[in-house]
Amino acid sequence: MRRSLPAIDRSVLYALGAAFLFALSVPAGKLLLGRVGPLGLSALCYLGGGLGLLLYKLLSGGAAGQAKEAPLEKKDLPYIIGFVAAGGALAPAFLFTGLKLASSSAASLMLNFELVFTAVIAVVVFREHGGRRLWLAAGLITAGGIALALEPGGFSFQPGLALVALASLFWAVDNNLTAKVSLKDPLTLSVIKGLAGGCVNAALAFYSGEALPAPKTALLALGLGFVSYGVSLALLVRAMRGLGAGRAGAFFGVYPFLGTALSCLWLGEAFSLRLGLAFALTGAAAALLLGEKHAHAHTHEPLEHDHLHGHDAHHAHPHPGGADGPGEHSHPHTHEKLEHSHGHGPDAHHRHEHGGGG
């Protein structure tokens, strides 16, 4: 009998898979920017992600045995509007504009700031648990960003890298807002973000006077978007369910290193001393967060919500007629007060307070 991976292990794999697919977008986007403007590329990538996942959703919607996800509700609308604006429109526009001015390898490493911004927003605004490792990692990544701006004559402001850092900030906002609805259908969320973000950037490209790309270029950009923005986003949303925004962002945060490696190997960009220093600093930060263990006795307060779930220690509720739910399923259900101890992340079932800063 095949043993399934624990939920937290599956979530890690989802986050790492999302990271690899997203990493492809930086060197591939750098190549495409010679044929299409940054706003047009942003539009095509997000439309590719949204349309591809919409097609998959329509084709697989009636598949036998497919678990039904929890539907979106009216209360989810503010979060959806927020992550569409931040992550679907502003972030990719800033990324590709910055990528025109900076090397692909340096821009990839600069995207490590998404990890810092995601974690800081999660802790400061949404009250997730932080800890010493998180803040030390934030300091290392900041130092890595400074290293990228070092020139032989000293520190040099680089507009391209600043725009990439700004893209990281908006994706961090996106991550935290998406986490608030991560218990809902990840495919639906990804389709909404892709189509809405793509349409916004298409309108911006039109009104700014960007030239239309050749059909072949448009198809390549749509395909890149399907892989790097569509499939990647759906995997990241699934990862947030088990890990929370901060931890999912930490694992997803390996993508800048993959992007840098791909840029050097694929585009032939030089691996300079400052790039090596930034790589080492941000790599140490990622190792700190990836090695984090969080387990302690904690109390679950009563909670009622709706999401896809199976029956485990957190979902031992009864069903009508006394029958257990058939595998993974979704319905409104209530969690009774529960006290226990196990390894966990700040997901939707573990929003408890912590003492101290560990």
pLDDT tens for 226-260 read 999 888 988 888 888 788 776 787 788 788 888 99
Same domain flag for 218 and 336: no
Distance CA 146, CA 355 (A): 33
- Residues 90 and 204: beta-carbon distance below 8 Å: no
The residues facing 304 across adjacent strands are: 334
Nearest to 181 by CA among 105, 69, 54, 341: 69
Q: Looking at the structure, tell me whether residues 206 and 307 fall in a common domain.
A: no
Quick one: 160 and 171 in the same domain? yes
- Are residues 186 and 53 part of one domain? yes
150 in the same domain as 134: yes
Give the chain's domain count: 2
pLDDT at res. 39: 96
Same domain assignment for residues 239 and 304:
no
| pLDDT attached to residue 344 | 45
Identify whether 353 is part of a domain.
no
Residues 225 and 328 in one domain: no
In terms of domains, do 203 and 320 share one?
A: no
Handedness of CA 46, 98, 202, 249 (dihedral sign): positive
Q: Is there a single domain that holds both residue 151 and residue 198?
A: yes
Task: State which of 241, 276, 296 marks the end of a domain.
Answer: 296
Give the per-residue pLDDT at 199: 96
Q: What is the pTM of this model?
A: 0.74
The parts of the chain modelled with pLDDT lower than 50 are: 1-2, 64-65, 307, 309, 315, 342, 344, 350, 352, 354, 356-358
Instruction: Tell me whether residue 230 is in a domain.
Output: yes
- State how far the Cα of 18 lies from the Cα of 40, in Å rounded to an integer: 23
Claim to verify: residue 243 and residue 302 sit in the same structural domain: no
**Assigned domain for 36 exists:** yes
The answer to whether residues 182 and 290 belong to one domain is: yes
**Residue 2 maps to a domain:** no
Domain that holds residue 189: 7-296
Residue 208 and residue 331 share a domain: no
Question: Residues near 159 by Cβ (< 8 Å), separated by ≥ 6?
Answer: 98, 101
In a domain, 173, yes or no: yes
The pLDDT value recorded for residue 1 is: 45
